[in-house]
Amino acid sequence: MRYIQMTYPRCMVISRDWEDDVMLALYADDSTYFASSRRADLAAKRIQRVLDQLPEWLDKWRMAVNVSKTAALLTGAKETCPINCA
């Protein structure tokens, strides 16, 4: 597995080979997956493919996701965000 790491003040961004254009940002004990696209549906699909692989990784490392602290956030201009995330 190849990793690309970029370090920012108190934050690390890791790009993993499992999906193009999906990044993982780590800060303390928090993590965020993010993707950028002109089409919100494509960004959502990319992140979903990564999230579909997450349970296996979590089981391997005996970790869990705190669902009460989990959210999806879609940003952008109103006319460029065509999907309904409700």
- The pLDDT tens digits of the residues spanning 27-82 come to 778 888 888 888 888 888 998 988 898 898 889 889 888 889 888 888 876 655 55
What pLDDT does residue 26 have?
A: 76
- The pLDDT tens digits of the residues spanning 3-42 come to 555 554 455 555 555 567 888 887 778 888 888 888 888 8
What's the pTM? Answer: 0.63
**Three-class secondary structure of residue 26 per DSSP:** strand
Domain extent for 12: 1-66+74-85
Mean pLDDT of the chain: 75
**Three-class secondary structure of residue 78 per DSSP:** helix
Q: Considering its fold, how many domains does the chain have in total? A: 1
Rounded CA separation 61/80 (Å): 38
